Structure 1
Amino acid sequence: MSQVVIIGAGPTGLTLAMLLAQRGIDVKLIEASRNFRRTFRGEALMPSGLEAIEFMGLTDLVARIPHRPLDAWEFVIENRSIFRVDEPMEPGGKPCTLISQPAFLEGVMAEARQYPNFEFIAGTAVRDFMWENDRAVGVILGDDRQIDAELIVGADGRSSIVRQKAKLPLDRQSQNFDILWFKLASSPEFEAENIFYSIISGHDGFGLFLGCEGLLQIGWSLHRQVGDDANAWQRINWQAKLVAAAPDWLVPILQQQKIDRPVLLSVTVGLCPQWHAPGVLLLGDAAHPMSPVRAQGINMGLRDAIVTVNHLVPLFQRHAQLTEIDAVLPQIQAEREPEIIQIQKLQHAEINQGELLRNYAPLRYGVSWLAPHLSLIRNRLRQSWVDRQLLLRQGVTSVSLKV
């Protein structure tokens, strides 16, 4: 029998598999895709994620793969720069760093494959669970293979099959926006400094930065209203739309681009009241899909993996009973859930700030006219934003690898 079967080879599942295999635990990692080159993968490691990477011994890997630290954050409202914050924000701290997630996953996979107790099964989805006395004891794959397991870990994202098969409900938070993601050719203006621009113009808003693999990336907030045509965005001339919302300095750059139809990223945010069932544990976005604000999904998932290893390794190394394994699963949730709840609240507060500017024109125009000219207002806005970022960057609780 396999000790642990992990479903989903994203950052959470793959790093968990590597850490368990390093410590002598038999692991099978199952991934429905055949490779890591998906259309969209989060790139940003906050200091909390970089700390997790360091605990995992993967700092050298990040240095070898395409990566790009952010130099600053800048906010532009109605064509005026409001304030800028340089990275790192904390004295002696680490800057938010963009990484190539496919390259990172390939590197972690190479590390995991060194261990004979690790097996990777790609290109086959999980179809169902095997049950014994109301406990999940294995998985049935799409090709009818059956794999026994002492524990099934669902790290298969916000649309988790594991969550569905284990009948673990997800409490969804109300969201009124999705993200349209554009990848464009780079421009010399972005090479000297990599600045993450947050741009608001009228009711429109988007983020802009240079990705670690040399492409300009734009995330456009697509707001939804009851009764809206869900496919209307596909008929928009996006080059004209972006140009109309862009500050003056960005307009000629966008006019020179070939802008194809963007990728729609549906925003799902929520929290499972219970992350576990007998024989099953949910982690990462499977247990708590995060808002895209400040790229918390990958950072929280890496921290989930570390806490899970701390709890599971001693049990599996001494060949604990299945009842003992099930008994520790609520402890993993209890350790991780407070941080997730607080981070989701902080993300929601950031969204509310943006919504206030988007929906209340007098405030938006007042900020855009006064902040560039009055240092007192500019500095207060800047400090207020920095204060709100610290926990989103550093994490809420202390997490370290103990085994």
Structure 2
Amino acid sequence: MTHVLIVGSGPTGLTLAIELARRGVDLRIVEKSPVHPEGARGKGLQPRTLEVFHDMGVIDEILATGAAYPLLRSYKDGQVIWEGRMQEPKEPSESVPYPELIMQPQWRTERILRDRLAELGHEVELGIEVTGFEQDAEGVTATLSNGERVSCAYLVGADGGRSTVRKALGVGFAGETFESERMLLADVKTPDVDRDHWHLWGDMAARTLHVALCPLPGTDVFQLTAPYTGEDDLQRILDTHAGVKLTEVVWRSEYRVNIRMAERFRVGRVFLAGDAAHVHSPAGGQGLNTGVQDAYNLGWKLAVGSDVLLDSYEQERMPIAEHVLGLSTRLLREADLKRDEETQQLNLGYWYGPLSVGPRGGERVPGVYGGGRFTLLADTSERYGDAVRVLPAPEGQKGVLLVRPDGYVGYDGDEAGVRDYLSRLGVETA
């Protein structure tokens, strides 16, 4: 029996698969598309996601093939009228090892994650859709489009905003779809603008954007974005607003602004993550990153499998999703291009979560990469089994800190309470 069946192979599903695979959990990951998706789509990797990718062993390639966001350049009547940055450059520090937003086309992010998953012995099964499933107290039985019946302990829907898993569960997807707010999105080629700037045409003072061309690192392609106003010929749009000639349209899509969140993230043995659980406007670059964080939260909990951990996924991630939806919606309404501490996801935590004990419980701990294990920061000779590594306490620390596998403080207190805390979570310390 497969322990976890993951439906969907975007960044959320792939992150979850890697988190399970590196812990030796038996899994399958299926994708209804017969080919891996193309298109830059979500291209901004936030500092917190970069920390996750460090822990997962893919940060070197992410940084080597990606780039910081370029200088913004705005035009009117063929003249440059404004230049600026989305984010001022910052040097790495102990508290923020990856301070800058990194641009990385989503197709490449997914390829890097698939390569890491392959190193761990698993591959995405393309062209396979989950057409139905039943669950009981013992497990889930899923029916696949190839006629196969798969028994698994848990099923995770990471299959996007139109999630078949969510619909099959009957879980509501509360929110709004704004039909009047549509966007054209394309990957295009043109020799008419330089690749050192993100080029914008519109009235930036009035926060009105007609068209934008953003160079994608490591390619000869630009990502084109434009509000959809009835004209869908990309060349005519550029002729009208920018005077730029295209030589090729590599990929294109149309996007409608959706702002929705699932009413549940868990029903029995079935979980929802990423866009299947919450969809955002593109403002603030939150969607892909929040999905990665969902998977990073859920992976170690599925590996342990205790009721208290499985229950905590929904309890911890729903408030985060609600907060991020509010943030991205506000930035959309204000047409705000900024990227700062508010969008980096470094200040998010689980202070009021069910797993957080002590004054620092739920706080992110920078620079502690557990490699899939708990980390106990303590001056002690005690050992707590293979699931916990012990490191010396930082200077000035009072008591001990037990850092969860996802980098947040679980327990902050006297060492005498550590074993009881781990036992409550279902973690063996022998």
Deviates more, 1:4-13 or 1:291-300: 291-300
Query: Which residue is equivalent to 1:137?
Result: 140
Tell me: CA distance 1:82–1:30, structure 2 relative to 1, closer, same or farther (3 Å).
same
1:241 pairs, out of 237, 240, 264, with 237
Query: Which residue is equivalent to 1:217?
Result: 223
1:112 aligns with 2:108: no
1:148 pairs, out of 136, 148, 151, with 151
Query: Which residue is equivalent to 2:319?
Result: 338
Query: Which residue is equivalent to 2:128?
Result: 124
Task: Give the secondary-structure state (helix, strand or coil) at the position aligned to 1:391.
Answer: coil
1:393 aligns with 2:393: no
Task: Give the secondary-structure state (helix, strand or coil) at the position aligned to 2:210.
Answer: strand
Q: Offset at 1:299? A: 1.0
Deviations 1:94-125 (Å, cap 9, x if unpaired)? 33222243333233223223445x46422111
Q: Offset at 1:185? A: 1.4
Deviations 1:213-256 (Å, cap 9, x if unpaired)? 22121111226xxxxxxxx434xx5433333333xxxx3xx146
In the alignment, is the contact (CA less than 8 A) between 2:201 and 2:209 conserved in 1? no
Task: Give the secondary-structure state (helix, strand or coil) at the position aligned to 1:109.
Answer: helix
Amino acid at match of 2:52: A
Amino acid at match of 1:106: R
Q: Offset at 1:204? A: 5.2
In the alignment, is the contact (CA less than 8 A) between 1:198 and 1:207 conserved in 2? yes
| Distance (Å, rounded) in 2 between the aligned partners of 1:41 and 1:109 | 17
Deviations 1:103-161 (Å, cap 9, x if unpaired)? 33233223223445x4642211111003336x861210011101111110111111111
Tell me: CA distance 1:33–1:215, structure 2 relative to 1, closer, same or farther (3 Å).
same
Amino acid at match of 1:96: L
Query: Which has the larger share of strand?
Result: 2
| Distance (Å, rounded) in 2 between the aligned partners of 1:24 and 1:275 | 24
Q: Offset at 1:80? A: 6.1
Query: Which residue is equivalent to 2:187?
Result: 183
Task: Give the secondary-structure state (helix, strand or coil) at the position aligned to 1:340.
Answer: helix
In the alignment, is the contact (CA less than 8 A) between 2:76 and 2:202 conserved in 1? yes
In the alignment, is the contact (CA less than 8 A) between 1:342 and 1:396 conserved in 2? no
Task: Give the secondary-structure state (helix, strand or coil) at the position aligned to 1:268.
Answer: strand
In the alignment, is the contact (CA less than 8 A) between 1:343 and 1:396 conserved in 2? no
Q: Which runs of 5+ in 2 are unaligned?
A: 93-97, 350-363, 371-403, 406-430
In the alignment, is the contact (CA less than 8 A) between 2:188 and 2:251 conserved in 1? no
Q: Offset at 1:337? A: 2.3
Query: Which residue is equivalent to 2:212?
Result: 207
State the number of aligned residues. Answer: 344
In the alignment, is the contact (CA less than 8 A) between 1:71 and 1:95 conserved in 2? no
| Distance (Å, rounded) in 2 between the aligned partners of 1:49 and 1:391 | 14
In the alignment, is the contact (CA less than 8 A) between 2:39 and 2:186 conserved in 1? no
| Distance (Å, rounded) in 1 between the aligned partners of 2:343 and 2:282 | 12
Tell me: CA distance 1:94–1:121, structure 2 relative to 1, closer, same or farther (3 Å).
same
Query: Which has the larger share of helix?
Result: 1
Bigger relative contact order, structure 1 or 2 (CA pairs below 8 A, ≥6 apart)? 1
Deviates more, 1:70-79 or 1:97-106: 70-79
Task: Give the secondary-structure state (helix, strand or coil) at the position aligned to 1:303.
Answer: helix
Q: Please give the residue correspondences for 1:3-402 in structure 2 after superposition, counting only pairs within 5 Å.
A: 3-39=3-39, 41-63=41-63, 66-74=65-73, 81-85=81-85, 87-90=87-90, 92=92, 94-116=99-121, 118=122, 120-132=124-136, 137-175=140-178, 176-187=180-191, 189-191=193-195, 193-195=196-198, 197=200, 199-200=202-203, 205-212=210-217, 213-222=219-228, 232-234=230-232, 237-246=233-242, 251=243, 254-255=244-245, 257=247, 262-315=252-305, 324=307, 328-354=309-335, 386=338, 389-398=340-349, 402=404
